[in-house]
Chain A
């Protein structure tokens, strides 16, 4: 229910990540909500602390230091609502990604229908599918039970059967899950989410209701064979995530008390905001990217359709030790901007997996961290692209679909020392095409705004309008079949004062046309040699673009971006690109 500005004012929102915990204050300034400040502390979900409350309080205390206001009272409890002396807050909300990846078993009927939907659903949170059941599975029921006992899932997602459709086969799977739960010690039993044939809810309740610590129901993810509807189940899964985390990690229950039950997965919060931004008029689709320690999250919204993908295997924390099972070391090394021995890069991956919170303190470690981030994000985008809404059509199968707006944050993206480093990392990894406006979420506000919207739907609107995100500028990414060094785009920018700037960009080049923050200008693009700048091969593009920290960036380095095999030349080029973007 919408909340009036008059009724409540300040909101303290906390995001508990795998490596860092952030406490963010939003408050009303001159009648509109504003992002006021952020406090940060290392997260404390892991041993020896094993209590996220320690990190949360440390982050809030940092926020107190920054703002000069008190939010924690006697015994370090949250002061709520705001007191007459100005201390305390009116609302509290929290997002969470810290904690072990959820081991998840998915079950359905047809492998390319309900099982696939269950798998997609699992991919919308911090989960790893460790077991799959379906009609394609020819194991005996007892073999399925033994498998569940071996993998000990934290969560079982049951789907299958259209509403009013098949029930016998679904029932057999439910029986196997029920028996496995029965055989597991009570403290090891998985939570169960049923998102299948809605006529079977009573049966599911009878078969597993007493055998699981948390049985949740959501509308069918496959109400008919042709229709997939993940949204209601995603919402329920977000709740299940919080329930499981409460059992796994100390301190989550306290956050839930403070927030009145509004603890949601960070990825879910980001997804909500991306969908919201697309609905509220951002043309050309919106892409959200969070390069976190626990996972890479990719949220894509196009023409009212939405897809959320959470990929723990590409996270920049504890999973880095397994990254070399998913990619070759050479594919990381090719993104190094400095000459660093491969053994150091390999050691970095394993050490960072042991200590996800460590920061790159040296230039060499920073170069390695950014190379690893590029490869991880590239792999995550390639995985996510397969599941993008069908409305997100790419001009070629090996390219990204165009997005009008990209919002990015997390880890090496948000922490990069300069906006140019953030943008270049993003362009190298995501490789957008066409005309894209890029914004950087340095303080990881988007997920918090997503969860805050449940309490106050005006707040995210006001905060985003206030410029809380860093506007990097507009990027023109050209797709061309011309040879290296061939001019492929002539660009002319006409400023509000009538002045103009021009550039002729060759394939392989990266150029900037200055356009400051808050400024708009008319951009005229004349592609050459059937180059596509977002309007089709060889077709000109004229329009108004917005500026930012880096102005208008014309990326003519090619799509897909292929780096030269000569390492010396490659490093020179990287330095040149970085220098072009301001270092």
Chain B
């Protein structure tokens, strides 16, 4: 059976496509080195629109109004620009109420884009631009350690990682944060206190790597201006041991926290990347495997939810579980040495 893969890798070639949601300008150049916070592409987008009904204002037909208009799509107009004048003794005029760009003309109407904003796309990972996607973005490649998470608040930053965790089920408290950590990425445990998120903001942290987060903190975390990643989801789960081991042994290294919002269909996931120097490219991370004995797996649900285990054997046919359900299953051995049957759909391969 095909198996999804959770990436917890000490060293891999990591390739990420970074694309704008709308067409724009690609700023990065092919083969250029970028850092996670570099802007690789930009797009201008209109915050709002203004529709000018010229025909109605002048009391003429749509076709007549179209003939009067001396503007075309793309024209940049300043505020109060005259765009049409009617006829008669005291002719009525149609002027632009605000500065804007002409988005559409026709049917006796003019649609203006006003209040233009800029959408900036950051690299998300430090690496080399290996491909330019015209008008949309780039493909970046790097080598380093990679840990995928389950929840992110959509922000990206990088900094030196400080480890405040003693064990996988550590809980981060406000008192553990102090000015010495200003500007760093914090490897924290479970977060259940809104004060922690506030204190992290005051310290201008570059990122918070959590095992899990209490659901009541989601709105505040979404508003945070620094990236927050929950590696093992929303709730009170400890950090899985593989991620804990890998991250805690890489403290003091420069770490990129790309807290992308989990997109189950598009494939975007929050992730932590620690760029590492390599002499030659390590093997790329694989997204799909086939279940096989000997694999390291993570249990997605009880029993032992979130724990890392070793797949001992895939059971033939269907296995009756303690819940009474019958499903294709595998025998796994947890790190504590316990052997248990787990439905295959509750497993993901770590690799």
Which chain A residues have a beta carbon within 8 Å of chain B's beta carbons?
19, 41-42, 44-50, 54, 58, 99-100, 140-143, 145-146, 149, 175, 179, 182-183, 185, 188, 248-249, 318, 321, 324, 343, 346-347, 350-352, 354-355, 357-366, 415-418, 421
Contact = CB atoms under 8 A, between A and B. Distances in A.
Contact of A41 (B1, B21, B236): B1
B236 A355 contact: no
Contacts of B50: 142
A321 B265 contact: no
B343 A361 contact: yes
B194 interface: no
A146 to B, nearest CB: 5
Given A358-B345, A359-B343, A365-B323, 17 more contacts: A45-B265, A47-B287, A48-B4, A142-B50, A321-B234, A346-B235, A351-B234, A351-B235, A351-B305, A354-B262, A358-B300, A359-B345, A359-B346, A361-B302, A361-B341, A365-B302, A366-B325
Interface in B319-344: 321-327, 341-344
Contact of B51 (A100, A142, A343, A421): A142
Nearest to B287: A48
Contacts of A42: 1-2, 344-345
B342 A361 contact: yes
7 contacts: A142-B48, A149-B49, A179-B111, A346-B215, A358-B345, A361-B341, A366-B324
A146 B48 contact: yes
B103 A360 contact: no
Nearest to B237: A347
Contacts of B343: 358-359, 361
B10 interface: no
Which 8 pairs between the two chains have the least Cβ-Cβ distance?
A417-B324, A47-B267, A347-B235, A366-B323, A48-B287, A350-B234, A142-B51, A358-B301
A142 B48 CA distance: 8
Given A361-B321, A363-B322, A366-B325, A141 B233 contact: no
B22 interface: yes
Nearest to B342: A361
B287 to A, nearest CB: 4
Contacts of B327: 359
A415 B325 contact: yes
Given A54-B2, A354-B262, A361-B343, A142 B111 contact: yes
**Band of interface residues on B:** 35 or more
Interface of B: 1-2, 4-5, 21-23, 48-51, 103-104, 107, 109, 111, 150, 215, 233-237, 262-267, 269, 287-288, 300-303, 305, 321-327, 341-346
A359 B341 CA distance: 12
B264 A47 contact: yes
Contacts of A366: 323-325
Nearest to A145: B49
Contact of A141 (B51, B287, B323): B51
Contacts of B107: 175
A418 B324 contact: yes
Contacts of B235: 343, 346-347, 350-351
Interface centre among B51, B103, B323, B324 (most CB of A within 10 A): B323
Given A100-B265, A179-B104, A248-B265, A48 B323 contact: no
A54 to B, nearest CB: 6
Contact of B325 (A324, A357, A361): A361
A44 B2 contact: yes
A360 B233 contact: no
Interface centre among B5, B107, B234, B341 (most CB of A within 10 A): B234
B325 A49 contact: no
Contacts of A48: 4-5, 267, 287-288
Contacts of A357: 345
Contact of A351 (B111, B301, B323): B301
B323 A360 contact: yes
Given A99-B265, A359-B346, A142 B323 contact: no
B2 A364 contact: no
A579 to B, nearest CB: 14
Contacts of B264: 46-47, 318
A362 B303 contact: yes
Nearest to A418: B324
A145 B104 CA distance: 13
Contact of B1 (A58, A142, A324, A346): A58
A45 B23 CA distance: 26
A444 to B, nearest CB: 16
A58 B290 CA distance: 12
Contacts of A45: 265
Given A351-B233, A358-B300, A46 B265 contact: yes
B2 A49 contact: yes
A202 to B, nearest CB: 15
B262 A347 contact: no
Contacts of A145: 49, 51, 111
Contacts of B5: 48
